[in-house]
Amino acid sequence: MLIRLKVRVTPNARKNGVVSWTEDEIRLKIKAPAVEGKANAALIEYLSELTGVPRAKIQLKAGEKSRIKVVEIDGPSPKELRDRILR
């Protein structure tokens, strides 16, 4: 099942973490700097760790150079995905 998430990313954080999840977006902190795609790669890696979905099934669809990104995840149902992330 393909799920699209709107993600607001804060790079250069002390540690990776979920800040909040509202109806329309999830806010994450990422340790990696926003240089040469490092934060985008770290975002995909972190979402993979949180959800248990392989990195190959997580794609950045929009917002490559923006703090607000659209990520597409080919994985579990939306409810299960949310439960895994907020765990």
Q: What is the pLDDT of residues 64-73, one digit of tens each?
A: 999 999 999 9
Residue 57 is given by DSSP the state G
- Residue 87 confidence (pLDDT) above 90: no
Contacting residues for 39 by C-beta, under 8 A, at least 6 apart: 9, 11, 30, 32, 33
Kindly state the tokens that stand for 64: 């490559």
Is CATH 3.30.1200.10 correct for 2-86? Answer: yes
pLDDT at 86: 84
Q: Hunting for tokens 């985008």 — which residue is that?
A: 40
Q: In what order do the strands lie in the sheet with 26-29?
A: 17-21, 26-29, 2-10, 68-74, 58-62
- 26-45 tens-digit pLDDT: 999 999 999 999 999 999 99
**Sign of the torsion angle spanned by Cα atoms 70, 58, 66, 30:** positive
Dist. CA 35–CA 19, nearest whole Å: 22
